[in-house]
């Protein structure tokens, strides 16, 4: 994802020119292709169960074994300070070395980073840190360093905030490993990400209560793109918004809603457990079966949803889109595209010597629609199938390059789209197909 981000910044400063006149257009996509029905009707086995729940559990354990995700349930009760300090400082040093810019156009130098390092408060701690248990009480952003201030790759270009890493939804269990000297930021892990979040968005709790929401015996999973989490059965007042793939411990049901376990944050920072209610149409009890129909149907529920780098601006980026879709079926995929390119079974691996026709033939012959990831450097897509010799995918994207009037322009999309793999053809970056480096079967 970081590679794609750098590419987009280059676009914005003149390597390619953003053309508003062609924003939102997509070639070779018909109205019928924007419906899951076309792809399901063309599928050879849309209702075949590809993996049983026990197999998905084993798959998730394999991701942990390969260090693509963390098993929070097995997280140690204390960790060495040196280990966390190295992880927390690494992101900050990456930002410093990239020579980024502040809102006022000045370079983010020592005047920006030194106070942040001091606030991280590592110098006053002992050799070990005690793990604390907590839950997010609202959507909150995960930051590379403990600040709300954004940094940008180019002066006066505010397209992408380099400090933004990811986000977590209300109800997400996390481990808290440290807090800043001013007590405003926690350093947390959620199993697929780590970084700094606002302390006011996190409620601490005891380990037993935390484990009950980490792995509830009976639960619902959000199957709508977004769902209101309300504090009354009438669904009038929304305390938070949940995202597709989020899960909650189930307490009961009403004609309109399901009753779930939810945490509010008390004045002392501890969790107060209450009942919350979510519309029945927005959830499934337990995970959906892992079938091509379920995956494609869930993906199309997000069609036209806004793109958001690192979960910013109420949207999702390419890897979050994939993670949300597969989370509804019980998968705990990694957070970023490079890690997702190492998940599942490798169908094909390509390098720059592979010609596009050879790639297309290999993908069309081996890939299973609705269960296969097409992995590019800095991007990931869900394969939908072949129509009239063209390969199609659904993915969250900011846009693509094309040649217009003898120059490269950037076609802004900023949403989840269906496209074939031709966008970018003839440009310095190449088409989506030319950029595919791996094809992975989620199995």
The answer to whether residue 1 scores a pLDDT higher than 60 is no
Domain boundaries along the sequence of the chain = 2-51+290-441, 69-213, 216-285
Query: Please, are residues 228 and 238 in contact by the beta-carbon 8 Å criterion?
Result: yes
Kindly report, residue by residue over 101-143, the tens digit of the pLDDT: 999 899 999 999 999 999 999 887 889 999 999 999 999 999 9
What rounded mean pLDDT belongs to the chain? 92
Q: What is the pLDDT of residue 94?
A: 86
* Rounded mean pLDDT, 16-27: 55
Q: What is the pLDDT of residue 25?
A: 60
Kindly report, residue by residue over 264-274, the tens digit of the pLDDT: 999 999 999 99
* Rounded mean pLDDT, 355-370: 94
- Global pTM? 0.93
Nearest to 390, CA basis, from 363, 411, 416: 363
The answer to whether residue 2 scores a pLDDT higher than 50 is no
Kindly report, residue by residue over 292-332, the tens digit of the pLDDT: 999 999 999 999 999 998 999 889 999 999 999 999 999 99
Q: What is the pLDDT of residue 89?
A: 85
CATH 3.20.20.60 fits 2-51+290-441, yes or no: no
pLDDT classification of 378: cutoffs 50, 70, 90: very high
In CATH terms, are 2-51+290-441 and 216-285 the same topology? no
Query: Please, are residues 368 and 277 in contact by the beta-carbon 8 Å criterion?
Result: no
407-420 vs 17-18, strand pairing mode: parallel
| Chain-centre distance for alpha carbon 218 | 25
Q: What is the pLDDT of residue 290?
A: 98
Q: What is the pLDDT of residue 206?
A: 97
Kindly report, residue by residue over 22-49, the tens digit of the pLDDT: 445 688 999 999 999 999 999 999 999 9
Q: What is the pLDDT of residue 337?
A: 96
* Rounded mean pLDDT, 383-410: 94
Tokens encoding 97? 């070395």
Kindly report, residue by residue over 152-193, the tens digit of the pLDDT: 998 877 678 999 999 999 999 999 999 999 999 999 999 999
Least confident of 84-93, 97-106, 199-208, 269-278: 84-93
Which CATH entry fits the domain spanning 216-285: 2.30.30.40, 3.40.50.10210, 3.40.930.10, 3.40.50.300? 2.30.30.40
* Rounded mean pLDDT, 378-406: 95
pLDDT classification of 93: cutoffs 50, 70, 90: confident
Q: What is the pLDDT of residue 155?
A: 85
The answer to whether residue 21 scores a pLDDT higher than 90 is no
* Rounded mean pLDDT, 328-337: 97
Kindly report, residue by residue over 139-161, the tens digit of the pLDDT: 999 999 999 999 999 887 767 89
* Rounded mean pLDDT, 253-257: 94
Query: Please, are residues 109 and 117 in contact by the beta-carbon 8 Å criterion?
Result: no
Q: What is the pLDDT of residue 406?
A: 87
The answer to whether residue 3 scores a pLDDT higher than 50 is no
* Rounded mean pLDDT, 59-83: 96
């Amino acid at each position: 994802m970081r590679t794609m981000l750098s590419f987009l910044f280059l676009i914005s400063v003149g390597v390619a020119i953003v053309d508003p006149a062609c924003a939102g257009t997509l070639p070779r996509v018909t109205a019928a292709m924007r419906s899951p029905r076309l792809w399901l009707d063309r599928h050879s086995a849309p209702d075949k169960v590809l993996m049983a729940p026990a197999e998905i559990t084993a798959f998730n354990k394999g991701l942990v074994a390969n260090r693509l995700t963390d098993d929070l349930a097995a997280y140690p009760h204390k960790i060495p300070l040196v280990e966390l300090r190295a992880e927390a400082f690494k992101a900050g040093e990456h930002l410093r070395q990239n020579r980024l810019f502040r809102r006022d156009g000045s370079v983010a130098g020592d005047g920006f980073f030194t106070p942040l390092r001091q606030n991280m408060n590592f110098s006053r701690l002992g050799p070990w840190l005690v793990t604390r248990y907590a839950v997010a009480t609202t959507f909150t952003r995960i930051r590379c360093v403990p600040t709300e201030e954004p940094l940008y790759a180019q002066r006066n270009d505010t397209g992408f905030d380099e400090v933004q890493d990811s986000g977590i939804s209300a109800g997400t269990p996390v481990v808290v490993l440290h807090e800043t000297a001013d007590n405003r930021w926690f350093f947390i892990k959620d199993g697929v990400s780590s970084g700094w979040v606002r302390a006011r968005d996190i409620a601490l709790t005891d380990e037993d209560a935390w484990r009950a929401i980490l792995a509830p015996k009976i639960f619902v999973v959000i199957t709508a793109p977004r769902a209101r989490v309300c504090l009354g059965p009438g669904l009038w007042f929304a305390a938070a918004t949940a995202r597709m793939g989020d899960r909650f411990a189930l307490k009961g049901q009403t004609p309109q809603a399901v009753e779930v376990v939810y945490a509010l944050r008390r004045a002392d920072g501890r969790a107060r457990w209450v009942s919350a209610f979510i519309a029945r149409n927005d959830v499934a009890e337990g995970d959906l079966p892992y079938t091509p129909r379920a995956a494609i149907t869930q993906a199309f529920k997000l069609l036209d949803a806004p793109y958001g780098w690192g979960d910013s601006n109420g949207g999702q980026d390419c890897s979050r889109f994939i993670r949300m879709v597969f989370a509804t079926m019980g998968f705990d995929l990694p957070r970023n595209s490079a890690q997702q390119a190492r998940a599942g079974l490798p169908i094909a691996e390509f390098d720059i010597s592979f010609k596009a026709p050879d790639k297309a033939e290999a993908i069309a012959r081996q890939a299973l629609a609705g269960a296969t990831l097409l992995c590019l450097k800095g991007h990931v897509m869900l394969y939908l199938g072949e129509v009239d010799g063209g390969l199609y995918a659904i993915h969250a994207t900011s846009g693509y390059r094309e040649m217009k009037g003898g120059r490269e322009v950037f076609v802004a999309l900023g949403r989840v789209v269906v496209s074939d793999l031709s966008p970018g053809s003839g440009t310095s970056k190449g088409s989506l197909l030319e950029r595919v480096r791996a094809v992975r079967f989620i199995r």
